[in-house]
């Protein structure tokens, strides 16, 4: 007897049921393709820890102008993406449009904020330099010890867990099958990707396999070498924060970075560490201490909140911090991984671009700078 027991024979098999994998699956199903998503616990990876910031301008990085363009394209399509999801599923995903305040504490922080502001203006991005008094008018919970701030009105946030729940519901109602099993290897036949092997020996055979396994993308046996590595982030969730903050606050606290994102009614997310130490989801005393110390310094009222969750997940890092989108050296295998700090934000643009590639064979212009070969050159 063959060891292959075909669970499915589909047009598209997606390895990974996080935000990226489900977004692609949903869009592919809407285009009439049969789709199976394979994930032992959909949404339990980086999507589960994500704070949900949609903040390409506040997070603009020097030398990352191409990534910024991709992020802005995705932000522009977010409201319609969310509206469609909410309409189709009846589920709310908590899109907040109050903007982002970026605050600083000492002269060095303010010099860094001024440089960031100059860079944003050079790129034609909308960002306003405001005083400590002005930022506290917007966010009265902020400490009076601030030196000044930027206000980025167009940077938003979303409840990443609610977004995942809605995408799962939308994908399934569009006909996507979700197989809750571990993908143990890429099935390769006659020099092309032909499906996914599952724990237990079953195989989902497919015309196209989409790799959306986040930080684990490079580790799936059969996948060609990929420069995707885990970058650990620890994050905290606190309760009873309703009304504390209107929008996202990012802070430079004497050179240290912290962000606070209001979410899901009365929750506040505080993040995040950035640790290059391989896989591992250990929450450390030092990580929690640093996040709480800085968050309380920025918003003293955080000290009164209930700490309900501390968790760590690996972000999928790449050498240039940008995702890997498009075809791979292996025919039949499409890459949608390496979204690093921008997985939530880049969900709509990735879903649309990868679906277009799968359906038509052509990667849309907006995604072309992000193919694997840029990292191989
Ligand atoms: N985008 C937020 C983070 O990676 O921590």
Q: Which atom of ligand 1 is least distant from the CA of 344?
A: 1
Distance 341 CA to ligand 1 centre (A): 4
Q: Closest Cα partner for 339 from 67, 48, 127, 25? A: 67
* pLDDT reading at 300 higher than 70: yes
Q: What is the pLDDT of residues 195-231, one digit of tens each?
A: 999 998 999 999 999 999 999 999 999 999 999 999 9
Q: What is the pLDDT of residues 50-83, one digit of tens each?
A: 999 998 887 777 888 899 999 999 999 999 999 9
pLDDT category, 375, cuts 50, 70, 90? very high
Q: For residues 42 and 50, what is the distance between their CA atoms, to the nearest angstrom?
A: 14
pLDDT category, 99, cuts 50, 70, 90? very high
Query: Is 341 touching ligand 1 by the criterion CB < 6 Å?
Result: yes
Q: Closest Cα partner for 359 from 214, 210, 213? A: 210
Fold of 10-48+162-227+320-376: FAD/NAD(P)-binding domain (3.50.50)
- The closest residue, in CA terms, to atom 5 on ligand 1 is 272
pLDDT category, 2, cuts 50, 70, 90? very low
Report how far apart the first and last C-alpha atoms of the chain are (Å, whole number): 45
Q: For residues 260 and 231, what is the distance between their CA atoms, to the nearest angstrom?
A: 20
- The residue to mutate among 50, 340, 347, having the most atoms of ligand 1 within 8 angstroms of its beta carbon, is 50
Domains in the chain: boundaries: 10-48+162-227+320-376, 100-153+230-317
Q: Dig out the tokens for 11 from the structure.
A: 């047009």
The single residue listed with the structure tokens 């306003």 is 128
Q: Which atom of ligand 1 is least distant from the CA of 342?
A: 1
CATH of domain 100-153+230-317: 3.30.9.10
Query: Is 51 touching ligand 1 by the criterion CB < 6 Å?
Result: yes
């Amino acid at each position: 007897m063959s060891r292959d027991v075909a669970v499915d024979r589909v047009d598209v098999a997606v390895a990974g049921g996080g935000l990226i994998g489900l977004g692609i699956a949903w869009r592919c199903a809407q285009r009439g393709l049969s789709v199976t998503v394979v994930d032992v616990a959909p949404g339990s990876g980086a999507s589960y820890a994500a704070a949900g910031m949609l903040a390409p301008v506040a997070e603009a990085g020097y030398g990352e102008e191409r990534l910024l363009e991709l992020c802005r394209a995705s932000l522009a399509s977010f409201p319609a993406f969310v509206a469609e999801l909410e309409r189709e599923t009846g589920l709310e995903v908590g899109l907040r449009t109050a903007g982002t305040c970026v605050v600083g504490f000492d002269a060095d922080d303010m010099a860094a904020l001024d440089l960031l502001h100059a860079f944003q203006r050079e790129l034609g991005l909308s960002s306003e330099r405001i005083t400590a008094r002005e930022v506290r008018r917007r966010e009265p919970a902020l400490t009076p010890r601030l030196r000044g701030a930027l206000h980025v009105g167009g940077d938003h946030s979303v409840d990443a867990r609610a977004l995942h729940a809605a995408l799962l519901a939308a994908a399934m109602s569009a006909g996507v099958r979700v197989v809750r099993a571990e993908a143990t290897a890429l099935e390769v036949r006659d020099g092309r990707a032909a499906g996914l092997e599952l724990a237990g020996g079953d195989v989902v055979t497919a015309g196209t396999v989409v790799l959306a396994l986040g930080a684990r993308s490079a580790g799936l046996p059969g996948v060609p070498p990929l420069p995707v590595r885990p970058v650990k982030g620890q994050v905290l969730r606190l309760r009873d924060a309703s009304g504390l903050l209107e929008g996202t606050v990012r802070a430079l606290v004497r050179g240290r970075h912290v962000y606070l994102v209001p979410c899901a009614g009365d929750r506040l997310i505080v993040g995040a560490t950035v640790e290059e130490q391989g896989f591992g989801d250990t929450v450390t005393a030092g990580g929690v201490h640093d996040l709480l110390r800085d968050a309380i310094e920025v918003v003293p009222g955080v000290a009164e909140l209930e700490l309900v969750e501390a968790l760590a997940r690996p972000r999928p890092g790449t050498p240039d911090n940008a995702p890997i989108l498009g075809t791979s050296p292996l025919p039949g295998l499409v890459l949608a991984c390496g979204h690093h700090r921008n997985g939530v934000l880049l969900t709509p643009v990735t879903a649309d671009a990868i679906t277009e590639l799968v359906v038509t064979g052509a990667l849309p212009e907006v995604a072309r700078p992000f193919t694997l070969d840029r990292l191989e050159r």
